[in-house]
Structure 1
C-alpha cells in the first residue's frame, strides 16, 4: 500500500496516508455514507412536516422548527470540529460523532412530545456537526494527491444528492409506515459507518502534544450560541408573534445583535479563536463563503417550499411529493465526480456561473406554474435544476479555500460548512415566513373580487349549485380554490426570488481571482 503525507483537520501531519484496493473502496463508501446520512437528515423531514405537525398538534409553520433546530445546532457546533479532531484525533472524533448522532436519531424516533423531538433534533445537530468536515478531510487523505479532485467530487456528490433523496425516502416512509422510520433508518447505517471507519482507518490518528492540551474558546462558543440561536428563534417565531410589535421578538433581536457583534470583537482579539474570522480578509474566501451562504438560502428555500405546496395544495402524497423533488438528484449524481475530476482544469468561476444561471432559468420557468399543473412539468423542472445544484457547491468550496496555506484549510473548511448550514436554516425560516405572508396577502386581494355584484362569481356559484352543491358547500369550495390559488402565487414568487438571488451571485463570483487550487492535505 502506498503512503502519502497528509494533514488532519487541525493541520497536523498524520500517517499512514493513502489507501488502495478494496480498503480504499470500502473507506470511500463508509465516509460517503456518513456525510450522506448527516445531510440527509437536514431534508428527509421536509415532506414529513405536515404529518408530524398534525401528530403533535402544531401548525405547519411551527413544524418547520424540526428542520431549523437541527441545522442551527449543527451550524453552531461546526467550528468545534477542528478542536475535537486536534484533541482526540480525526478518526476517533468521526466515529464517536457518528455513533452519538445515531443515538440521537433513536431518541427522535422515540419522541412522545414536540419539545422532546426538538431537543432530540438539537442533539443530532450537536453530535453530527463534526461528521461533514471530517468526512471531507478523511476522504481526501486516503486518495493520492492527483486524485483528490475526484475524492472531493465524490464527497460533493453525497452532499448534493442527500437533499434530493431526503424528500423521496421521507415521503415513501410517511406513506408506507410512520414518521418515526425517517429516524430509525439511521440506526443500521450509522452503526455500519461507525464500525467500518473504526476498522478500516485504525491507527491513523496522530495527536500533537500541543493540540492535546489546547483550550476551547468557551466564551466564543457561548456568544455564537446566543447570537445565532436568538436570530433563528426570531425568524421562526416572528410571523406568529407579529414581528417587532412583540416584546419577545424585540428581546431576541437585541440578544442576537449584541451576541453576534460581541462574538466578532472577541474572536478578532482571541489567540485561539473558535472561528478564524481573519480568513474573511482573503478575497477568494470571502467571495466563496458569501456565495455559498446566499446560494444555500435560495436552494434550501426551494427544497422546503415545493414539497409543502405539492402536498398541502396540489393533493400529492408525501411519497409523490418526494418523488417529484428527487428528480433533481439524477443529473447531480452523475455530474458530481465529473466536476471533481475537471475542477482544476476549468475556471471554477465559469462552472459556478453556469450553475447559477441554470438554477435561475429553471426557477423562472417554475414560477409560471398554475394550480392545474401536471406532474411531469414539475418533475422535469427539478431534473434540470439538478444541473445547477451540481455546478455550484463544489466549485464554491474550491474557490473558498484556494490560495490558503495548508494549515488554514481545515479552519476554512469548517467555516464554509458553517455558511452552508446557516444558509439552510435561514433559508428555511425566511422562505416559510415569506410564503405564508405572501399567501395571506394574495388571499386578501383575491377575496376583494368575491361579492354579490361580480357576475363571474355568481356564474361560478350557480354552476356549483347545478352540480348539486348546497350554498355552504359551494362557498367552501370557492374558498378552497382561492386558498390554493393564493399559495400557488406565493410559491411562484418564492421561486422567482430564489432565481433572482442566484442570478445576482454571477457578478459577485467573478470578483474571485485565480488560480483556484485547493492545497488539501498539505499538497
Structure 2
C-alpha cells in the first residue's frame, strides 16, 4: 500500500486515482526502458497527463469571460466544467474493456489525438450548446488517458523503481492545477478564452508522437471481450439525467417544471435498473460487489463527499472574485493558484509517512484543515483584501495533500491485486461524478442565496432609512442621475448579497467537512485489514 500512497495526485481537479488503476501489462520479452527513451517516454506521458489535468482547472477562472462572450449567465457557464467532468467519469469504467480490445499504446495515443480534436472544436464553438457538446466529447475521450499514462509509465521502470515513477507522475498532476488558473486567466485577459483549448494542440501532438515512437513496439496483446452495453446505457442515462437536472434546476424553477420532474424520474428509474442489472450481469461495467467491503465503502464515500465540497468551493471563489469584486481573470488565477503549493511540498512527506501512520488520522487532519479553510472563507466581506483571500487558498493545499493519499490507501486496503484496477476505476468514477454534482449544487446554492439576501437587503432601502438617504445623497452629489444612483445602489446590494451567500455556503461546507470525521472512522485500520484473509468484509 505504500506504493499506492506514493502515487496519489492531489491536484485540484485531478481526475486520476492515487494508485495505478491498472497494472501494467508487460510482455515477458519487454524490459524496462533505459537512457533517452526512458526520459522521453516519461516526459511524453507526463505532458499528456498535464494537458488533461490542466483542462479541469484552466476553465474555472475563464467562466465569466466564456459566459459573457456567449451571452449566458455565469451559473450557466459552469456547465462547461460539469459536462467535462461527467463525461470523463462515465468513460473511466470503459478503460479496461477498451485496453483489452485495442491495446494500451494504441488506445492512449488515439485518446490524446481525439482530445486535441475536441479541444479545437471547443475553441471554435459559437454558442454554449455546442461548447458543452464538445466538452462532453473532450471529457469522454480523456477517460482512458490518466489510467493508461500510469500503466505505461510503470511498464517503463523496473518494479523497484515504481515508487519513483509514480512520484514523477504525481508531481505533474499537482503542478497542473497551480498553472491552470494562472494560464487560463492570462489567456482570457490578453488573447481570448478559446486559447485555453487551443494550447492543447502542440502539447497533445508532441505527446502523441513521442509516445507512439517509443511505446509502439511495447503494445499489449488484444482480445475481443464482451462489453456490458445495457449497463453502459443505463450508466449514461442516470448520471446524465441527474447532472442535467442539477444544472438546469434553478433556471427551470426546479420541481415546478415538468422537464425537471421528468429528468428526476428518468435518473431514479435508470439508477434502480442499473443497480439490479450490474449485480446480475456476468461482465458488469461497474463491479458493485466492491461495495460489500467496509473500507472501500468508507474510503470512497468520504473521498467523494469531500471532493464534491472541495470542488464546489474552488469554482465559487474565482466566480465571486470576477463577478462581484472586480478582479480580472489573470488576478483571479494568481489569487487561487497557491492552492497547489503546499500540496506539492507535503505530498511526498505524507507518502513516506503512510506506512507508519494510521491513514484515518491523516484523513481526519485533512477534514479539520478543509473545515478551517471553509470557516476562514465564511468571514469574507466586500472589503476583503487580496492576502485574506490568498491565505485560505494556501492552507487548502495542506488539506489536499492529507486528503487523497490516506483515503485512497483506505479504500484499496485489503483488496487482492486483481481487484485494484476495478476498485480504482469505480472510486474514480464516484469522485469525479461527485465533483461535477458538487459544482452544480454549489453554483445553484450560491445563486439562490444571493437572490434571497438581495431581496432581504432591498427591504431596508426605504426613503425613511437614514443610511439609504445618506448614500443616495452622496451619489447624487457626485453627479449621478436618479437612475444611475438607483443602479449603483443595486450593484452595491448585489455585491453584499453575493458575499453573504458565499459565506452561507462556506459555513455549511465547514460543518459538512467536520461531519466526515464520523464516517472515516468506520474504516478498519489498514494493518489489521491486511492481515485478514479475504479482505475487509
Q: Structure 2-normalised TM-score?
A: 0.90
Shift of the alpha carbon at 1:67? 1.1
In the alignment, the residues of structure 2 paired with residue 26 and residue 416 of structure 1 have an alpha-carbon distance, to the nearest angstrom, of 31
Query: Is the 1:28–1:139 contact (alpha carbons within 8 Å) kept by the matching residues of 2?
Result: yes
Aligned to 1:315, the other structure's residue is in SS state: coil
Shift of the alpha carbon at 1:69? 1.1
Residues 1:307 and 2:318 aligned together: yes
Q: Which of 76, 81, 87 is the equivalent residue of 2:101?
A: 87
Residues 1:276 and 2:281 aligned together: no
Question: Deviation digits for residues 338-384 of structure 1, max 9, x if unmatched?
Answer: 33343333322222222221121111111101101111111122111
* Residue number in structure 1 paired with 2:17: none
* Residue number in structure 1 paired with 2:306: 295
* Residue number in structure 1 paired with 2:76: 62
* Residue number in structure 1 paired with 2:173: 159
In the alignment, the residues of structure 1 paired with residue 199 and residue 169 of structure 2 have an alpha-carbon distance, to the nearest angstrom, of 21
Residues 330 and 46 of structure 1, relative CA distance in 2, 3 Å threshold: same
Query: Is the 1:34–1:193 contact (alpha carbons within 8 Å) kept by the matching residues of 2?
Result: yes
* Residue number in structure 2 paired with 1:446: 457
* Residue number in structure 1 paired with 2:151: 137
* Residue number in structure 2 paired with 1:119: 133
Query: Is the 2:101–2:224 contact (alpha carbons within 8 Å) kept by the matching residues of 1?
Result: yes
In the alignment, the residues of structure 1 paired with residue 131 and residue 206 of structure 2 have an alpha-carbon distance, to the nearest angstrom, of 24
Q: Which of 379, 403, 407 is the equivalent residue of 1:396?
A: 407
Query: Is the 1:76–1:418 contact (alpha carbons within 8 Å) kept by the matching residues of 2?
Result: yes
In the alignment, the residues of structure 2 paired with residue 183 and residue 175 of structure 1 have an alpha-carbon distance, to the nearest angstrom, of 15
Residues 165 and 424 of structure 1, relative CA distance in 2, 3 Å threshold: farther
Q: Which of 5, 9, 19 is the equivalent residue of 2:22?
A: 9
Aligned to 2:516, the other structure's residue is in SS state: helix
Question: Deviation digits for residues 299-337 of structure 1, max 9, x if unmatched?
Answer: 110111000000000000001001100011112122233
Shift of the alpha carbon at 1:12? 5.5
Aligned to 2:444, the other structure's residue is in SS state: helix
Residues 1:264 and 2:284 aligned together: no
Residues 1:237 and 2:248 aligned together: yes
In the alignment, the residues of structure 2 paired with residue 89 and residue 171 of structure 1 have an alpha-carbon distance, to the nearest angstrom, of 38
Query: Is the 1:8–1:14 contact (alpha carbons within 8 Å) kept by the matching residues of 2?
Result: no
Q: Which moved more, 1:242-251 or 1:23-32?
A: 23-32
Shift of the alpha carbon at 1:59? 1.7
Q: What is the alpha-carbon root mean square deviation over aligned residues?
A: 2.1
* Residue number in structure 2 paired with 1:173: 187
Q: Which moved more, 1:459-468 or 1:171-180?
A: 459-468
Aligned to 1:109, the other structure's residue is in SS state: helix
Residues 340 and 90 of structure 1, relative CA distance in 2, 3 Å threshold: farther
Q: Which of 246, 251, 265 is the equivalent residue of 2:257?
A: 246
In the alignment, the residues of structure 2 paired with residue 318 and residue 423 of structure 1 have an alpha-carbon distance, to the nearest angstrom, of 26
In the alignment, the residues of structure 2 paired with residue 189 and residue 125 of structure 1 have an alpha-carbon distance, to the nearest angstrom, of 17
Question: Deviation digits for residues 261-302 of structure 1, max 9, x if unmatched?
Answer: 110100000111000011111111111111121111111101
Aligned to 2:526, the other structure's residue is in SS state: coil
Residues 340 and 190 of structure 1, relative CA distance in 2, 3 Å threshold: farther
Query: Is the 1:151–1:340 contact (alpha carbons within 8 Å) kept by the matching residues of 2?
Result: no
Q: How many residues align?
A: 509
Query: Is the 1:32–1:158 contact (alpha carbons within 8 Å) kept by the matching residues of 2?
Result: yes
Question: Deviation digits for residues 410-466 of structure 1, max 9, x if unmatched?
Answer: 111111221221022101100000000000011111111111111221122222223
* Residue number in structure 2 paired with 1:183: 197
Q: Which moved more, 1:8-17 or 1:509-518?
A: 8-17
Query: Is the 1:360–1:502 contact (alpha carbons within 8 Å) kept by the matching residues of 2?
Result: yes
Q: Which of 107, 123, 134 is the equivalent residue of 2:121?
A: 107
Question: Deviation digits for residues 36-93 of structure 1, max 9, x if unmatched?
Answer: 2212212211111111112211222211111111111111111001111122222222
Residues 1:44 and 2:58 aligned together: yes
* Residue number in structure 2 paired with 1:415: 426
Residues 182 and 196 of structure 1, relative CA distance in 2, 3 Å threshold: same
Where in structure 1 are there 5+ consecutive unaligned residues? 1-6, 519-523
Where in structure 2 are there 5+ consecutive unaligned residues? 1-19, 531-537
